[in-house]
Amino acid sequence: MMQKMETSSKKKVALVTGANQGMGFEIAKALAENGYTVYVAARNLQNGQNAAAEIGYGARAIQLDITEKNSIEDLKMQVEKDFGYLTLLVNNAAISHAGKAYGTIEEMRDAQRASVAPIAELYTVWNTNVFGTLAITQALLPLLHNAPAARIVNLTSALGSLTLHADPNSPFRGGLDVMYASSKTALNAITLSLAIELENSNIKVNLVSPGFASTQLTNFLGTQTPKEAAAEPIRVALDENVPSGTFTTATNITVPW
């Protein structure tokens, strides 16, 4: 009994990937404000340190490139050493293209259509959004299992929903590019696979489509602030009553897989 009380009163520890800017920063800030110790994971440690300093109490910077095996291993060892467990993993880091600058979202989508999208660029985007996200998740699963109750929140896009695109009347229909949107479709499959695999465990798994935010990822063409657009991932991350296996957008609207 004593053991159980000690375990359940453990401090909540979260890690947000790509937390130095955009929605990741807002999610990390909200978690710190709600009593979490939050690892602000950033590809560039200095950017992570700046973000952690801005968030203040509860935030600590850590280097992480989800496409780099050594970076993932170093991070895992650090969290293991600091706490030995993780309560919450927010897989937020992603890219929308392989480095080419596009003027508008439409231009980017046209260059990423199935008929023309350069395969080398697909590898780059999928390497981050799909394989990198799964790699960091696999690495941190033992630490999530060590927490009394844990959660993984994956950020996707409604553009990844095959059901929406398959509907001829859907406003999303034109948006199924094979680079970014399809990488999110693959992530959605991985998320559901993990949710099913872990359904009898201590780890809940959720998928969230945030709003359309003005961030680096959208070339700052989104219509919402990162804070507004991050409201749903923050809700799912913070509300302990959210069941495993949901795919939602704001506020708590179910998105078809």
From 17-25, 74-82, 112-120, 199-207, give the range in contact with ligand NAP by CB under 6 A. 17-25
The CB-of-87 to ligand NAP minimum distance in angstroms stands at 20
Is 27 a binding residue for ligand NAP by CB under 6 A? The answer is no
Report the residue number, 49 or 92, with the smaller CB distance to ligand NAP: 92
Report whether 232 contacts 249 (CB < 8 A): yes
Could you give the dihedral angle defined by the CA atoms of residues 132, 136, 139 and 145, in that order, rounded to the nearest 10 degrees? -140
43 lies in the site for ligand NAP, by CB under 6 A: yes
Q: Is 206 in the site for ligand NAP (CB under 6 A)?
A: no
Does position 137 bind ligand NAP by CB under 6 A?
no
Active-site residue 184, yes or no?
yes
Nearer to ligand NAP, 201 or 218 (CB): 218
Q: Is 29 a catalytic residue?
A: no
Compute the distance between CA of residue 205 and CA of residue 198 in angstroms, rounded to an integer: 8
Residue nearest to ligand NAP as judged by C-beta position: 22
Q: Which residues of 36-50 are buried (b: 16+ CB within 10 A; e: fewer)?
A: bbbbbbbbeeebbbb
Number of residues in contact with ligand NAP, rule: CB under 6 A? 33
> Rounded to whole angstroms, what are the CA distances from 19 to 15, 59, 75?
9, 11, 14
Binding mask 44-83 for ligand NAP (x = CB under 6 A): x--x----------------xxxx----------------
Number of H helices, E strands in the chain: 11, 8
Cis peptide preceding 251, ω within 30 of 0: yes
Binding of residue 213 to ligand NAP (CB under 6 A)? yes
249 counts as binding ligand NAP under rule CB under 6 A: no
Q: Is 222 in the site for ligand NAP (CB under 6 A)?
A: yes
| Binding of ligand NAP by 112 (CB under 6 A) | no
Locate tokens 């790699």: which residue?
135
Q: How many of the other CB atoms lie within 10 Å of CB of 214?
A: 17
List, by residue number, the catalytic residues.
180, 184
